Structure 1
Amino acid sequence: MKIQNAFRLGLFGGLGVLVAVVIGAGIGNLATILTYVGAALFLALGVDPAVSFLARHKVPRSLAIVIVLAVILGVFAGFIFAIIPVIADQVGALIQQVPDLVATLTDQTAVQQWWNSTIPWLDYEKVVQGIEDFFTDNLQAITTGVLSTALTIASGVFGGLIVLILMLYFVASLGSIKRALYQLVPASKREKFIDISEQISTSVGRYVIGQVALGLCNGVLTFLFLTVLGWILQNQIEYSALLAFIAFLFSLVPLVGTITGSIIITLLVWVFDGPPAVFVVGIWYLVYMQIEAYVLSPNIMNRAVKVPGVVVVIAALAGGTLLGILGALVAIPVAASILLIVKQVIIPRQNEL
């Protein structure tokens, strides 16, 4: 349609901009939901190879889905029940120490004597006055920060449950979702589209399995190492199962996950057990990170997704900047998918010109 009148042209242009703004605002409001859906679909593609493996071994697909989902839910429940006793134990210990802590803090004479004998170069009265002034001036900000942190944790737990539920639905209906998507492609291009889509979904599934395998290696080796270290030192390492779970969880994040988890575990060992255990654990993780970077990760991930190392680093950094942890997780399979499309679609077309 050709518009001759300048006013009409401006009106239609303004309406187009307004519609674009409304659509953008709607997508922004749905960003959290879209993130949940993307994470659930990503995990479902990672679970699908296990279902397909059982189906290839003459297990009915419906039964294979039930078996895989039961294993996932069992592992998830096991982790939850492993963490809850630790948290309850720590809270109980803290509650038992509260009366003594309150009595010590209210006894200003004892606190001042300890202060003067330990750090006599700092004036006790000035420090106390400074602390009181700080809390008085920043009481609202501190309260807001605490509430915000609590809400963030609650939102994260709720989001994790939503992703888990969506993943269960996606795994159960992944075949029908693919068939419906394939029907939207023109018949002349459908075969090529199906071939590339299956390669992409297989690549994503292998990547998820490879990343979980790296996490399991870190978690199992951490648990065995801490157990053996406790025997050698004749002093059991506190909460070795929880520390192993932390190692597994952080190893799922590419590039920075292992080093972040290692630092956290070393600090927790320092708090719970102190030296010499903390020094041994620190050395262990320095050695393990080298083994994972140069032995485990190349051998596992090269079989999952064939992506150059430079692309892996750039994709993980870009994904983490845009979408945080989720972006870092999905960045590498997305990069692998883009490279696959470039090799099998764009380059052949360029060669035909």
Structure 2
Amino acid sequence: MKIQNAFRVGLIGTLGVGLGVLILTSIVSLATIITYIGAALFLALGIEPLISFLERRKFPRWAALVVTLVVIIGAFVGLIWAIVPVAVGQATQLVQNSINWVNNGGAEKWFLSLQHQFPTIVNQQNIDAVTQWLQKNLPDITSKVLQTGIGIVQGAFGVIIVVILTIYFTASLPSIKRAAYQLVPASKRSRFADLGDQITDSVGKYVGGQVSLALVNGVLSAIFLTIIGAKFPILLASIAFFFSLIPLVGTITGSVIIVAVCFFSGPPTAIAAAIYYIVYMQVEAYVLSPRIMNRAVSVPGALVVVAALAGGTLLGILGALVAIPFAAAILLIIKQVVIPRQNEL
């Protein structure tokens, strides 16, 4: 090979590697924006079945879009209006009770009882060690608390961006789909469009199913916690609802938090709540979830677990949300494209 050809190959290879590094670096830098776009598109696909429902009843697209957004925003505002004042009041009461518990000597009595029961663990030497550790790491703890506050502000800003993008994607979803279908060769376009519509429909139904499960958990939690006399029932029911939106681990995580808070109402209340959520999780896993979710996506149980774990590891909560419909899309492609093609060989 001539020297100038080797130089040209080396130059082109170097430029290619540099371009690849630039693309990967750009993706990492834009990870937050990509997450916002993915969440907004996912929510837009979840809203689409409601718009399609109204379109089948002779609503124009724009009217169906307006009615759907008004209903969803109104329901969300109504939920916030009903829950937030009560939840804030109960959270304030929770903090005040904790302060009173400390000021009135309840914390000291609890600590002395703990020291009496576990003298080898709770002793002056260990207390001094913990105190020294806190004094040494106080600046780091303070900075982490400040970072947490900044993260909350950034999260609120991100929610606003996602809402705006969701409205935009919902309004322009048909044109986005048509533009994507135009990229496919004309001979395969109709088949690709059919698969694309089936996949987007399954995503929308999955979102609706997950919201339905969360509503069931939230309403039943509010009723049961009120009956057993637990403190802060509305706040705890809100926790149950929002955590149930997270597939696989959301319900159990919210249940653990609720049972822990129920200890403020006494051990019997916490035990009753623990028994209730154990029973409810069985009912949700074997009765509610199969009946609701099987109408949305047909994914084997083992694949649901694997997909949710993989998605959560890669993309956090958003990954856990999109993993199951993504797995359903892969299964749909395998059943309707790969297997028929293999049968023709």
SS at the partner of 2:231? coil
Q: Which moved more, 1:41-50 or 1:115-124?
A: 115-124
Question: Counterparts of 2:228 and 2:108 in 1: how far apart (Å)?
Answer: 40
Equivalent AA in structure 1 for residue 308 of structure 2:
A
SS at the partner of 2:295? helix
Q: What residue in structure 1 maps to residue 84 of structure 2?
A: 83
TM-score (norm 1): 0.86
SS at the partner of 1:316? helix
Question: Counterparts of 1:3 and 1:351 in 2: how far apart (Å)?
Answer: 51
Q: What residue in structure 1 maps to residue 303 of structure 2?
A: 311
Question: Counterparts of 2:97 and 2:302 in 1: how far apart (Å)?
Answer: 53
Question: Counterparts of 1:336 and 1:3 in 2: how far apart (Å)?
Answer: 53
Question: Counterparts of 2:108 and 2:56 in 1: how far apart (Å)?
Answer: 73
Question: Counterparts of 1:100 and 1:288 in 2: how far apart (Å)?
Answer: 32
> How far is 1:142 from its partner?
1.1
> How far is 1:59 from its partner?
2.5
Q: What residue in structure 2 maps to residue 223 of structure 1?
A: 222
Asked if 1:252 corresponds to 2:245, the answer is yes
Change (3 A) 1:343 1:95: closer
Unaligned runs of 5+ in 2: none
> How far is 1:51 from its partner?
1.0
> How far is 1:131 from its partner?
5.1
TM-score (norm 2): 0.88
Q: What residue in structure 1 maps to residue 54 of structure 2?
A: 54
Question: Counterparts of 2:54 and 2:78 in 1: how far apart (Å)?
Answer: 23
Question: Counterparts of 1:188 and 1:116 in 2: how far apart (Å)?
Answer: 79
> How far is 1:114 from its partner?
10
> How far is 1:134 from its partner?
2.5
Is residue 203–residue 305 contact of structure 1 (8 Å, CA) maintained in 2?
A: yes
Q: What residue in structure 2 maps to residue 179 of structure 1?
A: 178
Question: Counterparts of 2:237 and 2:318 in 1: how far apart (Å)?
Answer: 22
Is residue 215–residue 249 contact of structure 1 (8 Å, CA) maintained in 2?
A: yes
Residue identity over aligned pairs, in percent, reads 56
> How far is 1:158 from its partner?
2.1
Question: Counterparts of 2:113 and 2:336 in 1: how far apart (Å)?
Answer: 74
Q: What residue in structure 2 maps to residue 108 of structure 1?
A: none
Q: What residue in structure 1 maps to residue 315 of structure 2?
A: 323
Is residue 90–residue 232 contact of structure 2 (8 Å, CA) maintained in 1?
A: no
Change (3 A) 1:335 1:136: same
Q: What residue in structure 2 maps to residue 24 of structure 1?
A: 24
Change (3 A) 1:350 1:115: closer
Residue correspondences, number: 338
SS at the partner of 2:267? coil
Q: Which moved more, 1:129-138 or 1:320-329?
A: 129-138
Question: Counterparts of 1:112 and 1:260 in 2: how far apart (Å)?
Answer: 30
CA deviation string 1:239-278 (max 9, x = no partner): 222221211111111111111111111112223x223221
Q: What residue in structure 1 maps to residue 279 of structure 2?
A: 287
Change (3 A) 1:128 1:289: closer
Is residue 263–residue 269 contact of structure 2 (8 Å, CA) maintained in 1?
A: yes
SS at the partner of 1:255? coil
> How far is 1:155 from its partner?
2.3
Q: What residue in structure 1 maps to residue 332 of structure 2?
A: 340
Q: What residue in structure 1 maps to residue 343 of structure 2?
A: 351
Change (3 A) 1:140 1:8: same
Is residue 79–residue 245 contact of structure 1 (8 Å, CA) maintained in 2?
A: no
CA deviation string 1:106-164 (max 9, x = no partner): xxxxx99998898476666x677545533331122111221122222222222222212
Change (3 A) 1:168 1:136: same
Q: What residue in structure 2 maps to residue 65 of structure 1?
A: 65
Within-5 A mapping of 1:122-161: 130=129, 132-161=131-160
Equivalent AA in structure 2 for residue 205 of structure 1:
G
Question: Counterparts of 1:156 and 1:116 in 2: how far apart (Å)?
Answer: 41
Change (3 A) 1:38 1:118: closer
> How far is 1:88 from its partner?
4.9
Asked if 1:199 corresponds to 2:219, the answer is no
Question: Counterparts of 1:188 and 1:331 in 2: how far apart (Å)?
Answer: 30
Is residue 221–residue 237 contact of structure 2 (8 Å, CA) maintained in 1?
A: yes
Question: Counterparts of 2:222 and 2:17 in 1: how far apart (Å)?
Answer: 57
